[in-house]
Amino acid sequence: MTQFTSDPVGKSLPRVDTYDKITGAATFADDIQFGPNLYYARLARSPHAHALIKRIDTSKALKVPGVKAVVTGKDAPELVGMYLIDRPVLAGERVRYFGEPVAGVIATSEGIAEEAARLIEVEYEELPAVFGPLEALQPDAPLLHPDLGEYKVANFIFPEPGTNVSEHFKLRKGDVESAWPRCDAIVEGTFYLPQIQHVPLEPHISVALWEPSGQVTLWTSTQSPHAQRDLLAQSLDIPHGNLRVVSPYVGGGFGGKAGVTMEACALVLARAVKGHPVKLRLTREEEFVGTTMRQSLVAHTKIGCDAGGNLLAMETKYYFGGGAYNDYGVNIARAAGYSCTGPYDIPNVKGDSRSVYTNLPIGGPMRGFGMPEIHWGIEQIMDQLAEKIGMDPAEFRRRNCVKTDDTILTGMKMPAIDLVACINKVTEAIGLGKKEEPSARHKRRGKGIAIMWKAPAMPPNPGSSAVVRFNEDATVYVEIGAQELGQGSFTVAAQMAAQALGVPYEWVRVSAPIDTKYSPY
């Protein structure tokens, strides 16, 4: 007898995508069939971190049997980007990182496209390169974007033309300099984080179809189909009504499939062979140069408190290594700047957060949007200061954490919160301060506590929507715009709908794939 689940919210239930995924029936972008009309694409990439492109010769590639077209930066002069439109689809006059695409080949098979891409001859004039944000800030550092002052940019992003700084975010509260002499203890430190790749199970893949009529469809592994449609439509001058983005199941994203990475390449290649779908899929090796990375970071933090353990002042300097293009990374630096104190009430704060161009792969979002990068340093500094004044680290946090009605560094008054209660529950649950024997003699068991907050760096009025359709037998279809990339969003949507409508969980179906032509925003 079939069992039905009522009031499903808060219950552990089988995921709505379980059957498809464990049986192999789930459709990912690479599984979609397009028939014999399908062409394949491969990209020719730069072997240099920084160089001028003097000449590109595609004649040998065009002579390979099965090659349908070769596209270079001259054929695709558009710039793409989210908050700072600074990135060419294909490099035109210069390359700014190893692996930057300089040309694309469309052919009847992936192997032919790969062979032809290797035959493209590019003459480069190598230029000095910089690989870290502090190096890129030196007066004699090469300027990676001489045209920085001419790029389109969101009105809340502040690049500094004539430098390698693509964003400089500042926050000030009180008077930091006058507070240092009043501190009984001061601690400062510098923390370093390298670039990190997301490594999703499914590499990036896009299939683009540019119809002679001007209708354009993109099947792709993206976290944010609607945002991607908007960005691509604006960048490539496609009417929004003519561009459709379809995203089936996604095999992991972690931020690396947000915004635009290689999808614009697929579209401009399809534009060269209108009427044919063109498949561009990255290899695992290409994931490390052809998509985005978590940005590197050099974080310098200085804090001080009085003898009673009350925080008096904090100064932070964040230098994000944004890579060769910072179209998305600038807003991560902004989010980090908003959050620079951590969840602490500090009367005097000076915070500077910069995103800096380097000759490394493109920086972008990854799990936490700048928050893990800064908080691991903040919390170590807090532990060091607590130790310096002889205070228990949990008590130090209870004393200094933000509380209801505190005015934080942005001027916002905190709503009703109880972080102290959270700290108390955690310390009790883990037995903080109590020693426990390790599981083996060669191991050590440690305990610690950390707190954090997150600035989303989004507009204060974002929204999302859903469409609910009832069938004749009272079962329900739910259409949402949120993508399912392994985190269970379809299951949560089904639980919420069943709970709100008073129907069994098993009666709810969540429509997939996400399709900007039909799915709500």
Instruction: Please say which residue of 230, 259, 290 terminates a domain.
Output: 290
Instruction: Choose one of 388, 408, 430: the last residue of a domain.
Output: 430
Residue 455 lies in a domain: no
Instruction: Assess whether 272 and 329 both reside in one domain.
Output: no
Q: What does the alpha-carbon distance between residue 284 and residue 72 come to, in Å, rounded to a whole number?
A: 24
489 in helix, strand or coil? Answer: helix
Last residue of a domain, one of 263, 290, 317: 290
Backbone angles phi, psi at 373, to 5 degrees: -60, -40
- 28 exposed, middle or buried (CB, 10 Å; 0-12, 13-18, 19+)? middle
CA separation for the pair 517, 351 (Å, rounded)? 43
Under a CB-based contact definition with an 8 Å cutoff, are residues 335 and 453 in contact?
no
- CB burial of 36-58 (b: ≥16 within 10 Å; e: otherwise) equals eebbbbbbbbbebbbbebeebeb
One domain, residues 41 and 123: yes
**Dihedral sign, Cα of residue 127, residue 131, residue 134, residue 137:** positive
Report strand pairing: 348-357 vs 311-323: parallel
Contact between residue 78 and residue 270 where contact means Cβ atoms under 8 Å apart: no
Q: How many residues does the chain have?
A: 521
180 and 313, same domain (yes or no): yes
Task: Say if residue 155 is in the same domain as residue 269.
Answer: no
Domain-located, residue 510: yes
pLDDT in tens, 154-184: 999 999 999 999 999 999 999 999 999 999 9
The CATH number given to whatever domain includes residue 53 is 3.90.1170.50
Closest CA to 455 of 521, 407, 410, 416: 410
The predicted structure's pLDDT at residue 346: 98
Record the pTM.
Answer: 0.95
DSSP E strands, 1-148? 39-45, 51-57, 67-72, 79-80, 87-88, 94-95, 101-107, 121-126
Question: How many helices (DSSP H) and strands (DSSP E) are in the chain?
Answer: 13, 23
Residue segments in the chain with a per-residue pLDDT below the cut of 50: none
- What confidence score (pLDDT) does residue 294 get? 97
Q: Is residue 371 domain-shared with residue 484, that is, in the same domain?
A: no
Domain that holds residue 268: 32-127+199-290
User: Does one domain contain both 297 and 284?
Assistant: no
Same domain, 117 and 240: yes
Domain total for the chain?
Answer: 3
Residue-level pLDDT at 457:
78
Residues 276 and 256 in one domain: yes
